[in-house]
Amino acid sequence: MPDVFADLVGQDEAVATLRRAAAAAAAVLRHAAGERALALTPAAPGSAESAGGSGDPGAGMTHAWIFTGPPGSGRSVAARAFAAALQCAYGTGCGECPGCHTTMAGTHADVRLVVPEGLSIGVDEMRALVLRAASTPSGGRWQVVVIEDADRLTEAAGNALLKAIEEPPPRTVFLLCAPSTHPDDISVTIRSRCRVVPLRQPSADAVAEVLVRRDGIAPDVAQWAAAAAQGHVGRARRLARDPEARKRRDAVLAIPRRLTGVGAAFDAASALIEAAEAEAEASVAEADAAERAALETALGAGGTGRGAAGAIRGAAGQLKDLERRQKSRATRAQRDALDRALVDLAGFYRDALTMALRAPVAPVHTDAAALAAAGAQKWDAEGALRRLEAVLACRAAIEANVKPRIAVEAMMLALWRG
């Protein structure tokens, strides 16, 4: 029976660490329960003796963790699986008990998940979270706080979190996810109080295996998608399942041969930006509408009774606040969509480079290999490398807050000129 760690693809070392920690955490709980039992029934000593094992029952467990690794390597999957193992009735992450089930389904009362929707996690959100995390776990085990994309904490939010990590409530566990432990991603002081679990980029074979086993995807499709997604499990699944995602990727891979002049380069830049905008809009539209409808209902939209005028004045502020958050989320979604396209494009030029060098490695985009081979012939290794670097420079520029259109136009011109 697959337990909660089954979907952590190609991460044996990390899984071993987390299993040990979960067992240690369970021992801490047994030890505490044993002490209580001893206090209540002093006539039966020794009954709880074997539970904790020898020495410190908590060795291997700590209250703050950082999961690091490239996007798609499974940082949040690892954090959630560990949260489930902490809530597991058997302390193993069996995948069967209510603790495992509800944690994996996102409904466990003692597991809080922070998924930033905008560009950053604000201080108010963090303060509220830290406060709630300090309460006694209702299920009698642990209060677990999972923070996805902890690199998006604002400085103030980071400080609020740091305070909680410095003086942790006895049963609270913080699980942070970040691309790396670089000071740009996570503050040095937070880092110094956490145990780090590094995840590696899983191999294409490992990703394909999980697509077949877990998602029932045909082996040849899984193999293609795993290679095209470059180790990103979620992206591989989308490519295998979603025809729209495949269409968008095809459009991106068609860019290199469309770059026939300056005008074409600007056209390609516009097309890429607009595709990212459309994709982002589609991904947030449903949530936006649902949130607005829910807020309007809560505010009693259309009410005409006494006090309605005052309610409307307050409502305007709340609606404005909602719109601000939705705008931030839309911007993030656009950047993410654009970044996915740039990763695909980088894969294409990487293929051209490895072909020009006759390196014995499999291409990322098996279905565009002929095109990459033609590029390799035309540009040589140096030309392919310059183009690859142009794509990577574009990603870096956008990350550093250069306006996406400017960065993409500069990249397209560089790709055309070579």
Q: Which residues bind Zn ion (CB under 5 A)?
A: 88, 94, 97, 100
DSSP letter for 336, please.
Answer: H
Which CB sits closer to Zn ion, 139 or 179? 139
CB 269 within 8 A of CB 408: yes
CB 67 within 8 A of CB 177: yes
Q: Smallest gap, in angstroms, from Cβ of residue 234 to Zn ion?
A: 24
Q: Smallest gap, in angstroms, from Cβ of residue 143 to Zn ion?
A: 18
Q: Which residues on adjacent β-strands are paired with residue 114?
A: 147
> CA-CA distance, 225 to 302, in Å (whole number)?
49
User: Look-up: residue for tokens 């780090």?
Assistant: 196
Which CB sits closer to Zn ion, 106 or 303? 106
Which CB sits closer to Zn ion, 141 or 248? 141
Residue type, 185: D
Q: Smallest gap, in angstroms, from Cβ of residue 113 to Zn ion?
A: 18
Q: Smallest gap, in angstroms, from Cβ of residue 91 to Zn ion?
A: 8
Residue 160 structure tokens: 């609020």
Residue 145 structure tokens: 């706080």
Q: Smallest gap, in angstroms, from Cβ of residue 316 to Zn ion?
A: 47
CB 142 within 8 A of CB 149: no
Residue 386 structure tokens: 């310059």
Which CB sits closer to Zn ion, 88 or 130? 88
Which CB sits closer to Zn ion, 5 or 349? 5
Q: What residue is closest to Zn ion based on CB?
A: 88
For the CA atoms of 286, 176, 24, 36, what is the dihedral angle to 10 degrees? -80
Q: Smallest gap, in angstroms, from Cβ of residue 19 to Zn ion?
A: 13
Which CB sits closer to Zn ion, 92 or 354? 92
Helices (H), 138-261: 155-166, 188-192, 204-215, 219-228, 233-241, 243-253, 255-258
